[in-house]
């Protein structure tokens, strides 16, 4: 085989592995079921119970993380109003829960990482989907559906090696990225997908798209009280992270000028109740067109803009949502990124 066809073959092998997760090789437990399979596919049953729990048992003693790639349609989160006594947007009707995290609404191509340290004695992780009663047709609640590809990632003992042969669940459009990523090393299969510690999301490919939870094509609302890291794969040659904010709408209620919704407006030096603190934190960032430099971005400050980040060390950005609600202003973000 030529080098190119070899790469193509490897890419297709990776896809075969991906498709395998949707066919024979993947375990497909039912609600209430357990599995210790490395590749697991979870699909909503025809008549889902109120509470559907999947018990994921460690595939091996080297398991260190679960990567969950998922699409789902559940009830939208509940927005505060005078009757419900809520202060911030939260998932109360339907939700998908794991390790205290609750997600709901509509997701199309989303993923999360869940720590699963078998070495530390954690034997299983439960994934639950809890549904509100849909009596008499369920009012205006959607018909619940979910599809999740769960992969048990194994870390070589004592190391989080992030390169190697891609053999896992991957999104279809990332074929090219797989070809670029293929760097076979004996014995290491999962390393490419293993995330740095404490990243809720990890994007190992050099390019891709990121959306906030329940972005729902710009019609959604993100849950409040979130604070999580979105991480990228840094290689020796990496110099910067470039973010293209195709859509950006994160809280605030100040009616400031676009380029004032930065830094101190997003995360005030003095915390005060009721002040919006929804933001995306991008270390050492510059808005390319205007040359404005900032670290915290909120409101619609970077709607339509390209932002570059040139910090040394781990490549990560942070999303924070507060415990307040600014009606109509908490839609979220849709970014494309490039690691350069
Ligand atoms: C897993 O737990 C072991 C034992 O407590 C610890 O030494 C190791 O660093 C942990 N690994 C990760 C990836 O957190
Ligand atoms: C990212 O989204 C854009 C716009 O929808 C699309 O054209 C592009 O193919 C996507 N890229 C990847 C890697 O998914």
Question: If you measure from the C-alpha of residue 206 to the centroid of ligand 2, how many angstroms do you get, rounded to a whole number?
Answer: 13
| Dihedral sign from CA coordinates of 18, 20, 26, 30 | positive
Co-location of 178 and 204 in the same domain: no
pLDDT tens digit string along 114-139? 999 888 888 899 999 999 998 776 57
Co-location of 46 and 100 in the same domain: yes
- Among the candidates 128, 157, 183, a domain finishes at 183
Co-location of 20 and 48 in the same domain: yes
- Inside any domain, residue 43: yes
Q: Which atom of ligand 2 is nearest to the CA of 171?
A: 14
Q: Which atom of ligand 2 is nearest to the CA of 177?
A: 13
Co-location of 39 and 152 in the same domain: yes
CATH number at residue 243: 2.60.120.290
Question: If you measure from the C-alpha of residue 38 to the centroid of ligand 1, how many angstroms do you get, rounded to a whole number?
Answer: 20
Q: Which atom of ligand 2 is nearest to the CA of 174?
A: 13
**Quick one: which of 211, 245, 243 has its CA closest to 332?**
211
Q: Which residues line ligand 2 (CB under 6 A)?
A: 173-174, 207-209, 336
**Residue 326 main-chain phi, psi, to 5 deg:** -110, 100
Q: Which residues line ligand 1 (CB under 6 A)?
A: 64, 117, 119-120, 155
- Mean pLDDT for all residues in the chain: 84
pLDDT interval class at 260 (50, 70, 90): confident
Contacts of 86 by beta carbon, 8 Å cutoff, 6+ apart? 78, 79, 80, 92, 325
Closest residue CA from atom 5 of ligand 2? 209
Co-location of 262 and 166 in the same domain: no
Q: From the centroid of its chain, how far is CA 37? A: 22
- Inside any domain, residue 188: no
Co-location of 212 and 172 in the same domain: no
Question: If you measure from the C-alpha of residue 282 to the centroid of ligand 1, how many angstroms do you get, rounded to a whole number?
Answer: 28
- Inside any domain, residue 125: yes
- Among the candidates 153, 183, 213, a domain finishes at 183
Co-location of 165 and 201 in the same domain: no
**Residue 116 main-chain phi, psi, to 5 deg:** -150, 80
Ligand 2 probe mutation, 109, 110, 173, most atoms within 8 A of CB? 173
Residue 7's H or E segment, with its range, is: helix 3-22
Closest ligand (CA of 64) = 1
pLDDT tens digit string along 100-114? 999 999 999 999 999
Q: What is the DSSP letter of 9?
A: H
Closest residue CA from atom 12 of ligand 1? 117
Closest ligand (CA of 117) = 1
10 with 177: CB under 8 angstroms? no
Structural domain of 308: 195-340
Which of the pair, 118 or 146, is modelled with greater confidence?
146
Co-location of 132 and 59 in the same domain: yes
- Among the candidates 183, 216, 246, a domain finishes at 183
- Inside any domain, residue 296: yes
Co-location of 163 and 212 in the same domain: no
Q: How many domains does the chain have?
A: 2
Question: If you measure from the C-alpha of residue 205 to the centroid of ligand 2, how many angstroms do you get, rounded to a whole number?
Answer: 13
234 with 263: CB under 8 angstroms? no
- DSSP lists the bridge partners of residue 335 as 210, 245
Determine the pLDDT at residue 25. Answer: 81
Q: Please state the rounded mean pLDDT for residues 245-265.
A: 82
Beta carbons within 10 angstroms of residue 273's beta carbon: 7
332 with 212: CB under 8 angstroms? yes
Q: What is the DSSP letter of 303?
A: T
- Inside any domain, residue 190: no
Question: If you measure from the C-alpha of residue 110 to the centroid of ligand 2, how many angstroms do you get, rounded to a whole number?
Answer: 14
Residue 172 has pLDDT above 80, yes or no: no
Co-location of 14 and 142 in the same domain: yes
CA distance 172 to 167: 13
Q: Please state the rounded mean pLDDT for residues 133-159.
A: 83
**C-alpha distances out from residue 324 to 28, 223, 272, 276, Å:** 39, 10, 11, 7
Question: If you measure from the C-alpha of residue 336 to the centroid of ligand 2, how many angstroms do you get, rounded to a whole number?
Answer: 7
Which of the pair, 174 or 240, is modelled with greater confidence?
240
- Inside any domain, residue 162: yes
- Inside any domain, residue 47: yes
Q: What is the DSSP letter of 119?
A: G
Co-location of 130 and 266 in the same domain: no
- Inside any domain, residue 157: yes
Beta carbons within 10 angstroms of residue 299's beta carbon: 28
Co-location of 145 and 201 in the same domain: no
Which of the pair, 273 or 115, is modelled with greater confidence?
115
143 with 128: CB under 8 angstroms? no
pLDDT tens digit string along 2-60? 443 334 334 434 434 444 444 458 999 999 999 999 999 999 999 999 999 999 999 99
């Amino acid at each position: 085989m030529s080098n190119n066809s070899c790469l193509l073959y490897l890419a297709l092998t990776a896809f075969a592995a991906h498709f395998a997760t949707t066919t024979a090789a993947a375990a497909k437990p039912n609600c209430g079921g357990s599995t210790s399979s490395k590749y697991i596919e979870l699909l909503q049953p025809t008549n889902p119970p109120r509470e559907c729990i999947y018990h994921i048992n460690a595939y091996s003693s080297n398991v260190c993380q679960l990567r969950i790639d998922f699409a789902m349609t559940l009830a939208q989160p509940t927005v505060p109003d005078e009757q419900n006594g809520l202060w911030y947007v939260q998932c109360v009707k339907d939700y998908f829960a794991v390790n205290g995290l609750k997600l709901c609404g509509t997701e199309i191509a989303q993923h999360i990482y869940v720590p699963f340290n078998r070495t530390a004695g954690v034997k299983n992780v439960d994934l639950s989907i809890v549904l509100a009663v849909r009596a008499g047709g369920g009012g205006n609640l959607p018909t619940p559906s979910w599809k999740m590809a769960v992969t048990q990632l194994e870390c070589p003992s004592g190391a989080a090696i992030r390169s190697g042969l891609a053999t896992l669940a991957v999104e279809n459009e990332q074929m090219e990225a797989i070809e670029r990523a293929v760097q076979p090393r004996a014995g290491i299969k999962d390393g490419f997908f293993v995330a740095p510690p404490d990243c809720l999301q990890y994007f190992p490919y050099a390019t891709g798209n990121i959306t906030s939870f329940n972005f729902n094509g710009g019609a959604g609302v993100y849950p409040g009280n979130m604070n999580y890291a979105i991480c990228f794969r840094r290689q020796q040659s990496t110099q910067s992270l470039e973010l293209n904010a195709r859509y950006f709408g994160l809280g605030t209620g100040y009616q400031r000028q676009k380029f004032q919704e930065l830094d101190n407006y997003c995360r005030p030096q003095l915390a005060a109740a009721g002040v919006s603190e929804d933001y995306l934190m991008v270390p050492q960032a510059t808005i390319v067109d205007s040359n404005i430099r900032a670290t915290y971005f909120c409101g619609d400050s970077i709607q339509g803009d390209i932002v570059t980040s040139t910090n040394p060390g781990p490549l990560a950005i942070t999303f924070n949502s507060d415990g307040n609600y600014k009606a109509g202003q908490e839609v979220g973000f849709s970014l494309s990124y490039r690691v350069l």
